[in-house]
Amino acid sequence: MAGIVVLFGSVGAALGGAGGMMIALLLAAAMNVYAYWFSDKAVLKMYNAREVDASTAPEFYNMVKELAQNAQLPMPKVYIIDEDQPNAFATGRDPEHAAVAATTGIMRILTQRELRGVMAHELAHVKHRDTLISTISATIAGAISSIAQFGMLFSHDRERGVHPAVAILIMIVAPIAAMLIQMAISRAREFEADRGGAEISGDPTALAAALKKIHNYAHQIPLQTAEQHPETAQMMIINPLSGEGIKGLFSTHPNTEERISRLMAMAV
């Protein structure tokens, strides 16, 4: 997180000198505050998630309730997203203000046992407080891309402006650097959430089977919101982005086969 804020300030300094750096750092501070208090609501609204309860989705809601009790967590808010791509995520600044969401696609293709493993994984993120880290890093990383694209506005030399070559370099390098930092945060936390989820559900093979299914389906079915806001991809249980090649190199998720292998080792 410190690395992302430093990067934000460095981009501001490169484009606008000391004044640009101060503006960028103030923006970073403001976005951290915003992300802490409101990022969960913003992400859920972005994905058009609808809240459900024991009367509107009893089977799913009660599954989450049982797993939350297993994890000794307060009951989170439960949401369903009307999307065909199978995926799920958790958000919220702390366990007392957490929410978990699953797509209709994941509820359709997984067995109840497999879905239970997925929701246990998401609750492990809540228990480890990964949700706060991921939402703040996503907010700042997205802002770095924006400030790089509008870099000319932060020029301290209004007559000459930023040299076009420098501006282009910053526009390319800054978002990549932000993604690299996100990768370091997200990949490590996914392994821990797999382990924690397997412990909460008591069924590591169910989560392993779910990951295999989701991986096979997710890259065939686009998730337009994630494509439009790739900084949110790290929140999902499986990378929702359809890009291959260079885009795939910057995946915020570890290799699915390795995740499955570790879960199967836990089962043994």
pLDDT digits (tens, 9 = 90+) for 168-180: 666 677 667 766 7
> What pLDDT sits at residue 34?
73
Which of 3-12, 80-89, 147-156, 179-188 holds the top average pLDDT? 80-89
Question: 258 an active-site residue?
Answer: no
From CA 67, how far away is CA 59, in angstroms rounded? 13
Residues 6+ apart with CB under 8 A from 160: none
User: What mean pLDDT value characterizes the chain?
Assistant: 83
Q: Report which of 101, 168, 179 is spatially closest to residue 140, judged by C-alpha positions.
A: 179
pLDDT at 11 over 80: no
DSSP state for residue 14 in the 8-state scheme: H
Domain definitions of the chain by residue range: 2-267
Q: Which of 83, 122, 190, 231 is catalytic?
A: 122
CB 64 within 8 A of CB 76: yes
Which residue would you say has higher pLDDT here, 40 or 143?
40
Tell me how far apart the terminal alpha carbons of the chain are, to the nearest angstrom: 36
pTM of the model: 0.78
Which residue would you say has higher pLDDT here, 248 or 202?
202
